[in-house]
Chains A and B, each alone.
Chain A
Protein backbone atom coordinates (compact mmCIF):
# COMPACT_ATOMS: atom_id res chain seq x y z
CA UNK A 1 0.00 0.00 0.00
CA UNK A 2 1.45 3.40 -0.96
CA UNK A 3 1.53 6.56 1.16
CA UNK A 4 -1.24 7.95 -1.01
CA UNK A 5 -3.66 5.13 -0.27
CA UNK A 6 -3.01 5.25 3.48
CA UNK A 7 -4.02 8.89 3.84
CA UNK A 8 -7.47 9.56 5.14
CA UNK A 9 -8.92 12.92 4.11
CA UNK A 10 -12.24 12.16 5.82
CA UNK A 11 -12.20 15.22 8.12
CA UNK A 12 -12.00 17.52 5.10
CA UNK A 13 -14.87 15.70 3.40
CA UNK A 14 -17.02 16.05 6.52
CA UNK A 15 -16.14 19.74 6.77
CA UNK A 16 -17.05 20.20 3.09
CA UNK A 17 -20.48 18.61 3.55
CA UNK A 18 -21.18 20.58 6.76
CA UNK A 19 -20.13 23.89 5.17
CA UNK A 20 -22.24 23.26 2.06
CA UNK A 21 -25.29 22.55 4.24
CA UNK A 22 -24.60 25.75 6.21
CA UNK A 23 -24.20 27.76 2.99
CA UNK A 24 -27.47 26.37 1.68
CA UNK A 25 -29.20 27.41 4.91
CA UNK A 26 -27.78 30.95 4.71
CA UNK A 27 -28.69 31.24 1.02
CA UNK A 28 -32.30 30.17 1.55
CA UNK A 29 -32.66 32.37 4.65
CA UNK A 30 -31.27 35.50 2.99
CA UNK A 31 -33.84 38.21 2.21
CA UNK A 32 -35.57 38.18 -1.16
CA UNK A 33 -34.38 40.81 -3.66
CA UNK A 34 -37.47 42.55 -5.04
CA UNK A 35 -36.01 43.46 -8.44
CA UNK A 36 -34.89 39.90 -9.30
CA UNK A 37 -36.96 37.63 -7.08
CA UNK A 38 -35.49 34.25 -6.17
CA UNK A 39 -33.21 34.36 -9.22
CA UNK A 40 -30.95 36.65 -7.17
CA UNK A 41 -30.03 33.61 -5.05
CA UNK A 42 -27.91 32.45 -8.02
CA UNK A 43 -25.43 34.94 -6.59
CA UNK A 44 -24.56 32.37 -3.92
CA UNK A 45 -23.55 29.82 -6.57
CA UNK A 46 -22.28 31.98 -9.41
CA UNK A 47 -19.81 34.13 -7.44
CA UNK A 48 -18.22 31.19 -5.52
CA UNK A 49 -17.84 29.09 -8.69
CA UNK A 50 -16.03 31.83 -10.60
CA UNK A 51 -13.92 32.63 -7.52
CA UNK A 52 -12.91 28.98 -7.36
CA UNK A 53 -12.07 28.96 -11.06
CA UNK A 54 -9.67 31.86 -10.40
CA UNK A 55 -8.29 30.15 -7.30
CA UNK A 56 -7.83 26.82 -9.08
CA UNK A 57 -6.02 28.39 -12.05
CA UNK A 58 -3.98 30.53 -9.66
CA UNK A 59 -2.89 27.35 -7.84
CA UNK A 60 -2.02 25.79 -11.22
CA UNK A 61 0.13 28.85 -11.99
CA UNK A 62 1.97 28.76 -8.65
CA UNK A 63 2.43 24.97 -8.67
CA UNK A 64 3.80 25.20 -12.25
CA UNK A 65 6.39 27.75 -11.15
CA UNK A 66 7.36 25.67 -8.12
CA UNK A 67 7.62 22.56 -10.32
CA UNK A 68 9.96 24.28 -12.78
CA UNK A 69 12.07 25.57 -9.88
CA UNK A 70 12.25 22.30 -7.90
CA UNK A 71 11.51 19.59 -10.52
CA UNK A 72 9.45 17.80 -7.86
CA UNK A 73 6.75 15.81 -9.62
CA UNK A 74 4.30 16.31 -6.76
CA UNK A 75 3.85 19.97 -7.80
CA UNK A 76 2.94 18.92 -11.32
CA UNK A 77 0.22 16.70 -9.89
CA UNK A 78 -1.06 19.67 -7.88
CA UNK A 79 -1.05 21.89 -11.00
CA UNK A 80 -2.83 19.32 -13.17
CA UNK A 81 -5.40 18.41 -10.52
CA UNK A 82 -6.19 22.06 -9.79
CA UNK A 83 -6.58 22.84 -13.51
CA UNK A 84 -9.12 20.02 -13.84
CA UNK A 85 -11.14 21.46 -10.96
CA UNK A 86 -10.77 24.94 -12.44
CA UNK A 87 -12.28 23.75 -15.72
CA UNK A 88 -15.20 22.14 -13.85
CA UNK A 89 -15.86 25.31 -11.83
CA UNK A 90 -15.55 27.53 -14.93
CA UNK A 91 -18.17 25.41 -16.72
CA UNK A 92 -20.40 25.65 -13.64
CA UNK A 93 -19.88 29.43 -13.51
CA UNK A 94 -20.78 29.81 -17.20
CA UNK A 95 -23.89 27.62 -16.88
CA UNK A 96 -24.93 29.30 -13.62
CA UNK A 97 -24.38 32.69 -15.21
CA UNK A 98 -26.46 31.66 -18.23
CA UNK A 99 -29.39 30.65 -16.00
CA UNK A 100 -29.10 33.89 -14.03
CA UNK A 101 -28.73 35.87 -17.27
CA UNK A 102 -31.94 34.39 -18.66
CA UNK A 103 -33.77 35.49 -15.51
CA UNK A 104 -32.34 39.03 -15.40
CA UNK A 105 -31.29 39.95 -18.97
CA UNK A 106 -33.70 37.56 -20.73
CA UNK A 107 -30.83 35.92 -22.65
CA UNK A 108 -28.65 32.91 -21.87
CA UNK A 109 -25.63 34.42 -23.59
CA UNK A 110 -24.61 37.93 -24.55
CA UNK A 111 -21.40 39.20 -26.14
CA UNK A 112 -20.28 40.75 -22.90
CA UNK A 113 -16.54 41.16 -22.26
CA UNK A 114 -16.57 39.14 -19.01
CA UNK A 115 -18.57 36.26 -20.51
CA UNK A 116 -16.53 36.07 -23.68
CA UNK A 117 -13.17 36.19 -21.91
CA UNK A 118 -14.32 33.60 -19.37
CA UNK A 119 -15.16 31.27 -22.28
CA UNK A 120 -11.71 31.97 -23.75
CA UNK A 121 -10.13 31.14 -20.37
CA UNK A 122 -12.04 27.84 -20.35
CA UNK A 123 -10.61 26.91 -23.75
CA UNK A 124 -7.06 27.73 -22.64
CA UNK A 125 -7.32 25.24 -19.79
CA UNK A 126 -9.12 22.65 -21.94
CA UNK A 127 -6.02 22.91 -24.16
CA UNK A 128 -3.86 22.49 -21.04
CA UNK A 129 -5.72 19.29 -20.10
CA UNK A 130 -5.59 18.01 -23.69
CA UNK A 131 -1.83 18.52 -23.65
CA UNK A 132 -1.50 16.58 -20.39
CA UNK A 133 -3.49 13.68 -21.84
CA UNK A 134 -1.35 13.63 -24.99
CA UNK A 135 2.00 13.10 -23.20
CA UNK A 136 2.63 9.78 -21.48
CA UNK A 137 6.06 10.45 -19.95
CA UNK A 138 5.48 12.12 -16.54
CA UNK A 139 8.62 14.30 -16.65
CA UNK A 140 7.97 15.61 -20.18
CA UNK A 141 4.31 16.17 -19.36
CA UNK A 142 5.19 18.07 -16.21
CA UNK A 143 7.66 20.45 -17.86
CA UNK A 144 5.58 21.21 -20.91
CA UNK A 145 2.32 21.69 -19.07
CA UNK A 146 4.10 23.88 -16.49
CA UNK A 147 4.95 26.36 -19.27
CA UNK A 148 1.31 26.42 -20.39
CA UNK A 149 0.16 26.68 -16.77
CA UNK A 150 2.22 29.86 -16.42
CA UNK A 151 1.05 31.30 -19.75
CA UNK A 152 -2.58 30.63 -18.88
CA UNK A 153 -2.56 33.11 -16.01
CA UNK A 154 -1.84 35.95 -18.44
CA UNK A 155 -5.44 35.54 -19.62
CA UNK A 156 -6.82 35.57 -16.08
CA UNK A 157 -5.96 39.24 -15.57
CA UNK A 158 -8.06 40.62 -18.48
CA UNK A 159 -10.92 38.26 -17.48
CA UNK A 160 -11.07 39.67 -13.95
CA UNK A 161 -10.67 43.32 -14.93
CA UNK A 162 -12.84 43.11 -18.08
CA UNK A 163 -15.88 44.49 -16.25
CA UNK A 164 -13.86 47.58 -15.31
CA UNK A 165 -12.01 48.05 -18.61
CA UNK A 166 -15.06 47.52 -20.83
CA UNK A 167 -18.31 48.73 -19.27
CA UNK A 168 -20.74 46.26 -20.82
CA UNK A 169 -23.76 44.34 -19.53
CA UNK A 170 -22.09 42.36 -16.74
CA UNK A 171 -22.08 44.03 -13.32
CA UNK A 172 -18.78 45.23 -11.89
CA UNK A 173 -16.81 43.05 -9.47
CA UNK A 174 -18.92 41.91 -6.53
CA UNK A 175 -16.15 42.22 -3.95
CA UNK A 176 -14.86 45.78 -3.74
CA UNK A 177 -13.50 46.14 -0.20
CA UNK A 178 -13.81 49.95 -0.14
CA UNK A 179 -17.27 50.08 -1.69
CA UNK A 180 -19.50 47.22 -0.49
CA UNK A 181 -23.04 47.85 -1.75
CA UNK A 182 -24.78 44.79 -0.34
CA UNK A 183 -27.16 44.24 2.58
CA UNK A 184 -25.59 42.59 5.64
CA UNK A 185 -27.52 39.26 5.52
CA UNK A 186 -26.89 38.85 1.79
CA UNK A 187 -23.19 39.63 2.21
CA UNK A 188 -22.96 37.15 5.09
CA UNK A 189 -24.67 34.41 3.05
CA UNK A 190 -22.34 35.14 0.13
CA UNK A 191 -19.22 34.94 2.30
CA UNK A 192 -20.40 31.66 3.87
CA UNK A 193 -21.09 30.30 0.39
CA UNK A 194 -17.64 31.32 -0.87
CA UNK A 195 -16.02 29.71 2.18
CA UNK A 196 -18.06 26.51 1.73
CA UNK A 197 -17.18 26.20 -1.96
CA UNK A 198 -13.52 26.78 -1.10
CA UNK A 199 -13.59 23.89 1.39
CA UNK A 200 -15.25 21.72 -1.30
CA UNK A 201 -12.44 22.69 -3.69
CA UNK A 202 -9.81 21.78 -1.10
CA UNK A 203 -11.44 18.39 -0.48
CA UNK A 204 -11.79 17.63 -4.19
CA UNK A 205 -8.22 18.77 -4.86
CA UNK A 206 -6.90 16.48 -2.16
CA UNK A 207 -8.80 13.50 -3.62
CA UNK A 208 -7.66 14.31 -7.17
CA UNK A 209 -4.02 14.63 -6.15
CA UNK A 210 -4.26 11.30 -4.33
CA UNK A 211 -5.72 9.71 -7.46
CA UNK A 212 -2.95 11.23 -9.59
CA UNK A 213 -0.35 9.82 -7.17
CA UNK A 214 -1.92 6.38 -7.50
CA UNK A 215 -1.90 6.67 -11.30
CA UNK A 216 1.78 7.61 -11.19
CA UNK A 217 2.58 4.77 -8.81
CA UNK A 218 0.75 2.30 -11.08
CA UNK A 219 2.67 3.61 -14.08
CA UNK A 220 6.00 3.23 -12.28
CA UNK A 221 5.07 -0.26 -11.09
CA UNK A 222 4.15 -1.31 -14.63
CA UNK A 223 7.43 0.09 -15.95
CA UNK A 224 9.43 -1.75 -13.29
CA UNK A 225 7.83 -5.13 -14.05
CA UNK A 226 9.96 -7.33 -16.32
CA UNK A 227 7.21 -8.39 -18.69
CA UNK A 228 7.69 -9.96 -22.11
CA UNK A 229 9.04 -7.63 -24.78
CA UNK A 230 9.03 -7.75 -28.56
CA UNK A 231 11.70 -10.14 -29.79
CA UNK A 232 11.57 -12.48 -26.79
CA UNK A 233 10.17 -15.24 -28.99
CA UNK A 234 13.15 -15.05 -31.36
CA UNK A 235 16.24 -16.99 -30.37
CA UNK A 236 19.66 -16.53 -31.99
CA UNK A 237 20.96 -19.23 -34.36
CA UNK A 238 23.41 -21.70 -32.79
CA UNK A 239 26.86 -21.82 -34.36
CA UNK A 240 27.66 -25.23 -35.74
CA UNK A 241 24.05 -26.34 -36.14
CA UNK A 242 22.72 -27.76 -39.38
CA UNK A 243 21.36 -24.40 -40.50
CA UNK A 244 17.90 -23.97 -38.99
CA UNK A 245 17.65 -21.79 -35.90
CA UNK A 246 16.83 -23.79 -32.80
Chain B
Protein backbone atom coordinates (compact mmCIF):
# COMPACT_ATOMS: atom_id res chain seq x y z
CA UNK B 1 0.00 0.00 0.00
CA UNK B 2 1.27 3.41 -0.98
CA UNK B 3 2.24 6.36 1.22
CA UNK B 4 -0.83 8.18 -0.07
CA UNK B 5 -3.04 5.37 1.24
CA UNK B 6 -1.57 5.56 4.71
CA UNK B 7 -1.69 9.38 4.69
CA UNK B 8 -5.40 9.16 3.98
CA UNK B 9 -5.94 6.47 6.63
CA UNK B 10 -4.08 8.47 9.29
CA UNK B 11 -5.91 11.65 8.30
CA UNK B 12 -9.27 9.90 8.78
CA UNK B 13 -8.14 8.44 12.11
CA UNK B 14 -6.85 11.83 13.30
CA UNK B 15 -10.11 13.50 12.29
CA UNK B 16 -12.18 10.92 14.21
CA UNK B 17 -9.98 11.26 17.31
CA UNK B 18 -10.22 15.07 17.10
CA UNK B 19 -14.01 14.84 16.91
CA UNK B 20 -14.01 12.54 19.92
CA UNK B 21 -11.65 14.88 21.84
CA UNK B 22 -14.02 17.77 21.22
CA UNK B 23 -17.23 15.89 22.05
CA UNK B 24 -15.90 13.60 24.83
CA UNK B 25 -18.60 11.06 24.03
CA UNK B 26 -16.54 8.00 24.95
CA UNK B 27 -14.74 9.64 27.88
CA UNK B 28 -17.78 11.20 29.53
CA UNK B 29 -20.62 8.89 28.51
CA UNK B 30 -19.51 5.39 27.48
CA UNK B 31 -16.79 4.88 30.11
CA UNK B 32 -18.94 5.98 33.09
CA UNK B 33 -21.83 3.90 31.67
CA UNK B 34 -19.59 0.80 31.51
CA UNK B 35 -18.32 1.44 35.04
CA UNK B 36 -21.90 1.63 36.33
CA UNK B 37 -22.65 -1.72 34.66
CA UNK B 38 -19.68 -3.29 36.48
CA UNK B 39 -20.99 -1.78 39.71
CA UNK B 40 -24.51 -3.11 39.14
CA UNK B 41 -23.53 -6.75 38.59
CA UNK B 42 -22.40 -7.48 42.18
CA UNK B 43 -25.60 -5.86 43.45
CA UNK B 44 -27.61 -8.21 41.21
CA UNK B 45 -25.74 -11.48 41.81
CA UNK B 46 -24.88 -10.91 45.48
CA UNK B 47 -21.77 -9.49 47.11
CA UNK B 48 -19.90 -12.74 47.52
CA UNK B 49 -16.15 -12.32 47.03
CA UNK B 50 -15.64 -15.86 45.67
CA UNK B 51 -18.37 -15.39 43.08
CA UNK B 52 -17.06 -11.96 42.09
CA UNK B 53 -13.51 -13.28 41.69
CA UNK B 54 -14.78 -16.12 39.52
CA UNK B 55 -16.92 -13.98 37.20
CA UNK B 56 -14.68 -10.89 37.14
CA UNK B 57 -12.77 -11.48 33.89
CA UNK B 58 -15.92 -12.66 32.10
CA UNK B 59 -17.87 -9.60 33.25
CA UNK B 60 -15.05 -7.32 32.12
CA UNK B 61 -15.22 -8.64 28.56
CA UNK B 62 -19.02 -8.76 28.48
CA UNK B 63 -19.04 -5.06 29.37
CA UNK B 64 -16.29 -4.40 26.81
CA UNK B 65 -18.31 -6.18 24.09
CA UNK B 66 -21.68 -4.59 24.87
CA UNK B 67 -20.48 -1.08 25.65
CA UNK B 68 -17.68 -1.25 23.10
CA UNK B 69 -20.40 -1.36 20.45
CA UNK B 70 -21.50 2.06 21.71
CA UNK B 71 -17.97 3.29 21.03
CA UNK B 72 -18.11 1.95 17.48
CA UNK B 73 -21.46 3.62 16.80
CA UNK B 74 -20.70 6.85 18.70
CA UNK B 75 -22.40 9.91 17.29
CA UNK B 76 -19.08 11.41 16.22
CA UNK B 77 -18.37 8.30 14.12
CA UNK B 78 -21.56 8.62 12.09
CA UNK B 79 -21.28 10.91 9.11
CA UNK B 80 -24.04 12.94 7.54
CA UNK B 81 -24.81 12.31 3.84
CA UNK B 82 -23.08 15.62 3.00
CA UNK B 83 -19.91 14.53 4.83
CA UNK B 84 -19.96 11.18 3.01
CA UNK B 85 -20.35 12.94 -0.33
CA UNK B 86 -17.44 15.23 0.50
CA UNK B 87 -15.20 12.26 1.36
CA UNK B 88 -16.15 10.53 -1.89
CA UNK B 89 -15.57 13.70 -3.96
CA UNK B 90 -12.18 14.24 -2.32
CA UNK B 91 -11.11 10.90 -3.73
CA UNK B 92 -10.45 9.26 -0.36
CA UNK B 93 -9.84 5.56 -0.90
CA UNK B 94 -12.75 3.64 0.73
CA UNK B 95 -10.25 1.09 2.06
CA UNK B 96 -8.18 3.87 3.64
CA UNK B 97 -11.39 5.22 5.18
CA UNK B 98 -12.19 1.76 6.63
CA UNK B 99 -8.65 1.37 7.98
CA UNK B 100 -8.56 4.91 9.40
CA UNK B 101 -11.93 4.65 11.11
CA UNK B 102 -10.98 1.23 12.52
CA UNK B 103 -7.69 2.60 13.86
CA UNK B 104 -9.39 5.48 15.67
CA UNK B 105 -12.10 3.23 17.12
CA UNK B 106 -9.50 0.63 18.17
CA UNK B 107 -7.53 3.28 20.10
CA UNK B 108 -10.68 4.48 21.86
CA UNK B 109 -11.69 0.89 22.64
CA UNK B 110 -8.24 0.13 24.05
CA UNK B 111 -8.55 3.12 26.37
CA UNK B 112 -12.03 1.92 27.33
CA UNK B 113 -10.70 -1.59 28.06
CA UNK B 114 -7.86 -0.29 30.22
CA UNK B 115 -10.20 1.82 32.35
CA UNK B 116 -12.75 -1.02 32.63
CA UNK B 117 -9.93 -3.44 33.55
CA UNK B 118 -8.82 -1.16 36.39
CA UNK B 119 -12.42 -0.76 37.60
CA UNK B 120 -12.94 -4.56 37.52
CA UNK B 121 -9.77 -5.26 39.50
CA UNK B 122 -10.78 -2.68 42.09
CA UNK B 123 -14.44 -3.68 42.44
CA UNK B 124 -14.14 -7.45 42.08
CA UNK B 125 -10.87 -7.89 43.98
CA UNK B 126 -9.26 -9.87 41.16
CA UNK B 127 -5.97 -11.72 41.39
CA UNK B 128 -3.76 -10.48 38.56
CA UNK B 129 -2.22 -13.93 37.87
CA UNK B 130 -2.45 -14.62 34.13
CA UNK B 131 -3.11 -10.98 33.34
CA UNK B 132 0.16 -10.69 31.37
CA UNK B 133 -1.94 -12.15 28.53
CA UNK B 134 -3.99 -8.96 28.67
CA UNK B 135 -1.12 -7.19 26.92
CA UNK B 136 -2.03 -9.14 23.77
CA UNK B 137 -5.71 -9.87 24.44
CA UNK B 138 -6.80 -6.26 24.98
CA UNK B 139 -5.29 -4.86 21.74
CA UNK B 140 -6.61 -7.86 19.76
CA UNK B 141 -10.11 -7.40 21.21
CA UNK B 142 -9.98 -3.67 20.51
CA UNK B 143 -8.88 -4.16 16.89
CA UNK B 144 -11.42 -6.95 16.24
CA UNK B 145 -14.32 -5.02 17.75
CA UNK B 146 -13.27 -1.85 15.94
CA UNK B 147 -13.17 -3.67 12.57
CA UNK B 148 -16.54 -5.25 13.25
CA UNK B 149 -18.06 -1.96 14.43
CA UNK B 150 -16.73 -0.02 11.43
CA UNK B 151 -17.96 -2.68 9.02
CA UNK B 152 -21.40 -2.85 10.64
CA UNK B 153 -21.57 0.95 10.80
CA UNK B 154 -20.92 1.09 7.04
CA UNK B 155 -23.52 -1.62 6.39
CA UNK B 156 -26.17 0.18 8.46
CA UNK B 157 -25.28 3.78 7.51
CA UNK B 158 -28.18 5.97 6.30
CA UNK B 159 -30.62 3.33 7.53
CA UNK B 160 -33.38 4.67 9.77
CA UNK B 161 -32.94 1.92 12.35
CA UNK B 162 -29.12 2.02 11.98
CA UNK B 163 -28.08 2.89 15.56
CA UNK B 164 -30.40 0.17 16.91
CA UNK B 165 -29.36 -2.31 14.23
CA UNK B 166 -25.58 -2.13 14.68
CA UNK B 167 -25.52 -3.73 18.18
CA UNK B 168 -27.67 -6.60 16.84
CA UNK B 169 -25.22 -7.11 13.96
CA UNK B 170 -22.02 -6.74 16.03
CA UNK B 171 -22.80 -8.64 19.23
CA UNK B 172 -23.37 -12.17 17.84
CA UNK B 173 -20.39 -11.85 15.49
CA UNK B 174 -18.19 -10.75 18.41
CA UNK B 175 -18.72 -14.03 20.30
CA UNK B 176 -15.42 -15.60 19.10
CA UNK B 177 -13.60 -12.51 20.41
CA UNK B 178 -15.39 -12.77 23.78
CA UNK B 179 -14.59 -16.49 24.07
CA UNK B 180 -10.99 -15.98 23.00
CA UNK B 181 -10.41 -13.07 25.38
CA UNK B 182 -11.85 -14.70 28.50
CA UNK B 183 -10.39 -18.15 27.85
CA UNK B 184 -6.89 -16.84 27.10
CA UNK B 185 -6.77 -15.10 30.48
CA UNK B 186 -8.58 -17.77 32.50
CA UNK B 187 -6.94 -20.96 31.15
CA UNK B 188 -4.22 -22.00 33.58
CA UNK B 189 -0.81 -20.92 32.36
CA UNK B 190 1.38 -23.72 31.08
CA UNK B 191 -1.21 -26.09 29.63
CA UNK B 192 -0.90 -24.54 26.17
CA UNK B 193 -4.58 -23.64 25.89
CA UNK B 194 -3.94 -19.91 25.96
CA UNK B 195 -2.15 -19.92 22.65
CA UNK B 196 -4.92 -21.71 20.75
CA UNK B 197 -7.47 -19.14 21.98
CA UNK B 198 -5.14 -16.34 20.94
CA UNK B 199 -4.85 -17.94 17.49
CA UNK B 200 -8.67 -18.00 17.26
CA UNK B 201 -8.78 -14.28 18.08
CA UNK B 202 -6.04 -13.52 15.56
CA UNK B 203 -7.89 -15.45 12.82
CA UNK B 204 -11.12 -13.54 13.55
CA UNK B 205 -9.26 -10.21 13.42
CA UNK B 206 -7.63 -11.23 10.13
CA UNK B 207 -10.91 -12.40 8.55
CA UNK B 208 -12.64 -9.14 9.56
CA UNK B 209 -9.76 -7.13 8.09
CA UNK B 210 -9.99 -9.03 4.79
CA UNK B 211 -13.80 -8.72 4.58
CA UNK B 212 -13.58 -5.01 5.48
CA UNK B 213 -10.94 -4.30 2.82
CA UNK B 214 -12.65 -6.34 0.09
CA UNK B 215 -16.12 -4.88 0.68
CA UNK B 216 -15.14 -1.24 1.40
CA UNK B 217 -15.67 -0.11 -2.19
CA UNK B 218 -19.05 -1.80 -2.87
CA UNK B 219 -20.32 -0.51 0.48
CA UNK B 220 -19.24 3.08 -0.30
CA UNK B 221 -21.14 2.97 -3.59
CA UNK B 222 -24.43 2.35 -1.77
CA UNK B 223 -24.12 5.13 0.80
Binding partners A and B? yes
Q: Which residues of B contact A123 (CB under 8 A)?
A: 168, 171-172
B169 CB contact (under 8 Å) in A120, A131, A137: A131
Asked if B207 is at the interface of the complex by the 8 Å CB criterion, the answer is yes
23 A–B contacts, CB within 8 A, in A order:
A68-B218, A120-B172, A123-B168, A123-B171, A126-B168, A131-B159, A131-B169, A134-B156, A134-B161, A137-B222, A139-B222, A143-B222, A144-B219, A144-B222, A146-B218, A147-B155, A147-B219, A148-B155, A150-B211, A151-B173, A151-B208, A151-B211, A155-B176
Q: How far is the CA of A148 from the CA of B162 in the complex (A)?
A: 14
Residue of B nearest to A144 (CB): B155
Interface size classification for chain A: 20 to 34
Asked if A169 is at the interface of the complex by the 8 Å CB criterion, the answer is no
Q: How far is the CA of A124 from the CA of B155 in the complex (A)?
A: 14
A131 CB contact (under 8 Å) in B156, B208, B222: B156
Q: Which residues of A contact B219 (CB under 8 A)?
A: 143-144, 147
CB distance from B186 to the nearest CB of A (A): 14
Asked if A219 is at the interface of the complex by the 8 Å CB criterion, the answer is no
Q: How far is the CA of A140 from the CA of B176 in the complex (A)?
A: 28
A127 CB contact (under 8 Å) in B151, B159, B165: B165
Asked if A135 is at the interface of the complex by the 8 Å CB criterion, the answer is yes
Q: How far is the CA of A148 from the CA of B173 in the complex (A)?
A: 10
Q: Which residues of A contact B207 (CB under 8 A)?
A: 154
Q: How far is the CA of A91 from the CA of B199 in the complex (A)?
A: 31
Q: Which residues of A contact B172 (CB under 8 A)?
A: 120-121, 123-124, 127, 155
Q: How far is the CA of A120 from the CA of B160 in the complex (A)?
A: 25
Residue of A nearest to B160 (CB): A134
A143 CB contact (under 8 Å) in B165, B171, B218: B218
Asked if B215 is at the interface of the complex by the 8 Å CB criterion, the answer is yes
Residue of B nearest to A125 (CB): B172
Main secondary structure of the interface of A (DSSP, over half): helix
CB distance from B157 to the nearest CB of A (A): 9
Q: How far is the CA of A57 from the CA of B168 in the complex (A)?
A: 18
- Residue contact B173 to A154, C-beta cutoff 8 Å: yes
Asked if B115 is at the interface of the complex by the 8 Å CB criterion, the answer is no
- Residue contact A155 to B173, C-beta cutoff 8 Å: yes
Asked if B118 is at the interface of the complex by the 8 Å CB criterion, the answer is no
Q: Which residues of B contact A (CB under 8 A)?
A: 151, 155-156, 159-162, 165, 168-169, 171-173, 175-176, 204, 207-208, 211, 215, 218-219, 221-222
Contact of A134 with B211 at beta-carbon distance under 8 Å, contacts A126-B168, A139-B222, A143-B222 already known:
no
Asked if A158 is at the interface of the complex by the 8 Å CB criterion, the answer is yes
Residue of A nearest to B152 (CB): A148
| CB-based closest 3 A-B pairs | A140-B222, A123-B172, A127-B168
Residue of B nearest to A71 (CB): B218
CB distance from B199 to the nearest CB of A (A): 12
Q: How far is the CA of A121 from the CA of B155 in the complex (A)?
A: 19
Asked if A130 is at the interface of the complex by the 8 Å CB criterion, the answer is yes
- A-B contacts besides A131-B159, A150-B215, 20 pairs, CB < 8 Å: A117-B175, A120-B172, A120-B175, A131-B165, A134-B156, A134-B165, A135-B159, A137-B222, A143-B219, A143-B222, A144-B156, A144-B219, A147-B219, A148-B169, A150-B211, A151-B151, A151-B208, A154-B207, A155-B173, A155-B175
Residue of A nearest to B155 (CB): A144
CB distance from B78 to the nearest CB of A (A): 15
Q: How far is the CA of A244 from the CA of B222 in the complex (A)?
A: 45
Per-residue B-contact encoding for A128-165, CB less than 8 Å = 1, 0 else = 00110011010110011111101110110010000000
- Residue contact B159 to A147, C-beta cutoff 8 Å: no
